[in-house]
Amino acid sequence: MSGPVVMKFGGSSVANAERLRNVADIVRSEDADGIVVVLSALGGVTDALFSCGKTAAARNEAGALGGLGRIMERHREVAGELFGGAVPDELADFIAAAEHELSLLLRGSAMLGALPDQSLDALVGHGELLSSRLLAAFMQVPWLDARLVVRTDSRFGQARPLPAEIRDLAGKEVLPILARGGIVVTQGYIGSDASGAPTTLGRGGSDFSASLFGAAIRAAEIQIWTDVEGVLTCDPRVVPDARPVEHLGYDEAAELAAFGAKVLHPATILPAVELGIPVTVRNSLLRKGRFTSITRDASSGLPVTALASRAPVSVLTVRSPGMLGGAGFLARIFEAFGRRGVSVDLVSTSEVSVSMTVEASAPLEGLAEELSSFADVRIERERAIVALVGEQLRRTPGVAGMAFSALRDMNVEMISLGANEINLSLVVAQSDAPEALRRLHAAFFGKENSGSVSKGVA
């Protein structure tokens, strides 16, 4: 491959010594002009560190230190397995220093009965520092502290990156290694602000880090290695024969993520997509398996690229004869939503009514009471949104007919065609959603459609 590559490995891909060896094999087999390896923490470690912080803030010093001890022992065990018991002194010293630093932090938190966001970032970011140090030592390649490159603002816990500064810092810290065709191992999720204080990018931050590194070095490709063969045509827990989509557009990925698909979150890869850098989603346990490539304007070429579902949701219907020819009626409704901080997903209107889907946890009782002062209000709970997503959907006659034929004896309570016309959403009872997905998948991806569907599979 011409140009450098960023390879990001998630927690499931680096869960233990065997998985780390597998990562090393995958990286070594990559033919690229330099590789940046971005690692998540060992599976479950970030959650365990958060738990330690919470325990310390509750003034339970012994519990917090006990949890930390178990985390560090796990890393020592992995190191021992990687090196056959002969752990290099430099790696052993790094683990010991990290444990000492975090012990002091947790003791201070237990004494104060609080853990400020800045300290929490310093705590939870150590998972990536430790896992990446293990891999770099095993592969005998340079290790880079991502906090030297990923410059952010000071919004601890959800820091915003500063791309121009990241690009300049990557030019100093990363490009010289890549210029020699080298491999550098670094971390996802973490960065630092202008003062050098550690920050984190929030959950999903490792994917974001990979995209930021990729954009900064103008990578030829960003590979996201996980435990599935790319983005699937449907949730495999519901549709066992769901299969990977070969090409996925950025807008399609955004729609699928919004409607519940377990897909790379589009916001995390935006820096790469804006520069036209392809992002591929691959399975680290099936390195020669199928995968998905996400680019700005890609398309599977199929009427429907994939299906997604989100549940539970609630449907709120507002009805009033005053809507007929009445100016400002919808504005009055949505002002009430805005005052109460309730977000709307789908909207469907008629001459005298408007129906909206909202999260099941939304505070609807007070909202309904306010709206009842000028309209009739009905709330229906335990509903699901089933979404058909595809760039070609708007250009293909008969998609809606196929969908309704598949669901002909099922009650579809609400229909919405997305504003960008690549998403047809249907609202059904939550209990009907799994069967609806199975029927729709059979209609659009079943064996009788194998001739056209094969275009969407790697």
Pick 363 or 68 by higher pLDDT: 68
- Give me the pLDDT at residue 302, please: 80
Phi, psi angle pair for 411, to nearest 5°? -80, 110
The residue-averaged pLDDT of 45-69 equals 97
Confidence of residue 230 (pLDDT cuts 50, 70, 90): confident
Confidence of residue 319 (pLDDT cuts 50, 70, 90): confident
Pick the range with the lowest mean pLDDT from 65-69, 125-129, 296-300, 446-450.
Answer: 446-450
Note every long-range contact of 178-183, with CB atoms under 8 Å and residues 24 or more positions apart, other chains counting: 178/4, 178/33, 178/34, 178/35, 178/36, 178/217, 179/34, 180/34, 181/33, 181/34, 182/34, 182/35, 182/141, 182/142, 183/27, 183/34, 183/35, 183/37, 183/139, 183/141, 183/142
Alpha-carbon Rg for the chain, nearest whole angstrom, is: 25
Confidence of residue 451 (pLDDT cuts 50, 70, 90): very low
- Give me the pLDDT at residue 455, please: 37
> pTM here?
0.84
DSSP codes, 49-115: HHHHHHHHHTT-HHHHHHHHHHHHHHHHHHHHHHTTT---HHHHHHHHHHHHHHHHHHHHHHHHT--
Pick the range with the lowest mean pLDDT from 160-164, 180-184, 367-371, 449-453.
Answer: 449-453
Pick the range with the lowest mean pLDDT from 111-120, 144-153, 257-266.
Answer: 257-266
d(CA 376, CA 23): 59
Pick the range with the lowest mean pLDDT from 37-46, 380-389, 440-449.
Answer: 440-449
Order of strands across the sheet that contains 5-9: 183-187, 35-39, 5-9, 221-226, 279-283, 292-295, 247-249
- Give me the pLDDT at residue 353, please: 84
d(CA 38, CA 206): 7
Q: For domain 5-227, give the CATH number.
A: 3.40.1160.10
Pick the range with the lowest mean pLDDT from 21-25, 208-212, 232-236, 389-393.
Answer: 389-393
The alpha carbon of 18 is separated from its chain's Cα centroid by a whole number of angstroms, namely 25
8 Å CB contact between 36 and 186:
yes
Q: Where are the domains of the chain?
A: 5-227, 306-456
Q: Each residue of 337-356: b (16+ CB within 10 Å) or e? A: beeeebebbbebeeebbbbb
Decide if domain 306-456 falls under CATH 3.30.2130.10.
Answer: yes
- Give me the pLDDT at residue 252, please: 87
Confidence of residue 456 (pLDDT cuts 50, 70, 90): very low
Among residues 236, 284, 303, 293, which one has the least CA distance to residue 264?
A: 293
- Give me the pLDDT at residue 346, please: 87
For residue 227, pLDDT over 90 is answered with no
Half-sphere exposure of 240 (CA within 13 A, CB side): 0
Pick 114 or 329 by higher pLDDT: 114
CB atoms within 10 A of CB 31: 8
d(CA 103, CA 96): 10
Sign of the dihedral through C-alpha 285, 298, 6, 274: negative
- Give me the pLDDT at residue 375, please: 86
For residue 419, pLDDT over 80 is answered with no
